[in-house]
Amino acid sequence: MNLYSKSQKWKLYLLIAGVTMCVVSLFFLNILIERVQNEERKSVLLWAEAIQKKSALVEYTKELFDKLQIDEREKVELWSDAMHRLLQSDNSSDLTILVKIISSNKNIPIILTNEKGIVISSINLEKPIQQGKPIPVSTIKEFSKYPPIKILFNNKLLNKLYYKDSKLFSKLQLVMSDIIQSFFTEVVGNSASVPVIITDDTKKVVIAYGNIEKSTVANPEAMQQRIKSMGNSNIPIEIKLTKETKNYVFYEESYFLKLLRYYPIALGLALLILLLIAYIAFAASRRYEQNQVWMGMSKETAHQLGTPISSLMAWVDILRSKNIDEETVIEIEKDVYRLQIVADRFSKIGSISTHSNEDILAITEDIVDYMRKRISSKISIEIKSEIQTIVVPISKTLFEWVIENLCKNAIDSIGGMGKVVIELFDKPTEVIIDISDTGKGIARSKFKTIFKPGYTTKKRGWGLGLTLAKRIIEEYHKGKIFVKQSEPEIRTTFRIILQKY
């Protein structure tokens, strides 16, 4: 198993671990949300049931007040009827009974006037009024709740009877108002963290509210929109305080439950960020380790090559002194020089490279000339370029390594008979180099894999050639290298893009 496969497995394990964490966390969080939602729904239902019971109690109390009010009205009418019959009766026994009826009124304030509004008598008033004079305007307003009862004699208006609620009944009404107000306050208070709005029967006029933002309360339009939203979320609870009037309680989920609903998204994002950080850290750690390995290997290789290269240079001088065929000595000298270049390349891999303006066409031609003499005659290498000079800022030693490596890979892919074509295109801001061969080809699924460390299809080798080529082009020269196209047994093209500036 190569290094790339191990790396891919680690990434897969990391992904599986992250996804598992997300799924498990979201599963348990979803259970928590459902439980909180159910508990909150139960609380709201119990709260709504309590509201209905309390509203029934308020309605029952109101009915008692209504009966009391009717009873007082009947007493006043009875008193008025007694007065009418007293005026018409000649029977002394009837007069005694009627006087008892009239004098039995101990609570209801009454004022008796003639047809012109002159006060004849009054009873149960907080402040007595003067008889024989018209009723004061302030007193008429005080007794304006009910219309005066007319007392007729021979079908003619004889007296007017003004009355109002008794002190007991007025106090009970205040108690009733307090009960209703405390009911609303208790409804709002007992809503806990649930936002609540109580309206009238039109569902527009707000009577009370709880757990509503101040900004919403201060804005009538926002308040109406909130009522509409609450009504869409939950059916409002109807409260009948009296037979004639009813109110509505609007409510929605608590702020805590809303936060819980958004929590899975936040948790998912947090886990994704954590996985991304872990992946970046893992990739950076691996890249650092690879860099350290390459730098150490490169420096050690350059160091180890130094001694035999020096020895070989001495042997070249000895061969030349023994009158060996000069052409043979020159070729040996070229190989020794090539070894020096290789050692230089390894030393530069482990250090910061310096760039200089170089003619990459001339560099490519030198490499091809050197390789032509050392490959099979059945394989041809051709260079194509529309112009004669292409200058680009590069590290010459490292760039030569890339071209030589790609050419060797192309020759190895051809195996027997074939052709390698190197095309150079000079663009305004960049230079494009295409290296094509008529070899076995590369599967599309391997277009990126072949640049990973340890990947190789050869029986021998470390699988670092294309990895180093990618490192040199993309990290040292800020360019690009990739497989442009590949058709098995027809054509495979690697493309290099270098920036001119």
- Domains annotated on the chain, with CATH: 3-168 (3.30.450), 191-255 (no CATH), 352-499 (3.30.565.10)
CB-based contacts of 146, cutoff 8 Å, min separation 6: 73, 163, 164
Cα distance between residue 29 and residue 260, in whole Å: 8
At 319, give phi and psi (nearest 5°). Answer: -65, -40
CA distance 273 to 279: 10
Q: Ramachandran region of residue 389, left (φ > 0), alpha (ψ -120 to 50) or beta?
A: beta
In sequence order, the β-bridge partners of residue 424 are 385, 433
The upper half-sphere exposure of residue 161, i.e. CA atoms within 13 Å in the direction of its Cβ, equals: 20
The CA distance from 43 to 257, in Å, is 13
What are φ and ψ of residue 472, in 5° steps?
-65, -45
* Choice between 475 and 67, residue whose per-residue pLDDT is larger: 475
pLDDT of residue 83: 62
In terms of Cα–Cα distance, which of 415, 371, 405 is closest to 496? 405
Burial call 438-447: b when 16+ CB within 10 Å, e when fewer: bbebbeeeee
**DSSP states along 268-328:** HHHHHHHHHHHHHHHHHHHHHHHHHHHHHHHHHHHHHHHHHHHHHHHHHHHHHHTT--HHH
Which residues make Cβ contacts (< 8 Å) with residue 40, sequence separation at least 6?
194, 253, 254, 257
Distance CA 354, CA 233 (A): 69
- Which residue, chain included where needed, has tokens 């804005």? 219
Mean of the per-residue pLDDT values for the chain? 77
Asked if residue 98 has pLDDT above 50, the reply is: no
CA distance 366 to 399: 12
How far is it, in rounded angstroms, from Cα 309 to Cα 347?
14
Amino acid at 331: E
pLDDT value, residue 1: 44
- For the stretch 397-442, pLDDT in tens is 889 889 988 998 898 888 788 999 999 999 989 999 999 999 888 8
Task: Specify the DSSP class assigned to residue 201.
Answer: T
- Higher-confidence residue of 360 and 198: namely 360
Q: Provide the pLDDT confidence category of residue 95 given band limits of 50, 70 and 90.
A: very low
* More confident call, 456 vs 84: 456
Q: Give the pLDDT of residue 272.
A: 78
The pLDDT value given to residue 157: 77
* Tokens linked to 395: 């590290």
Quote the pTM value.
Answer: 0.45
Q: Look at 205 and 261; give whichever has higher pLDDT.
A: 205
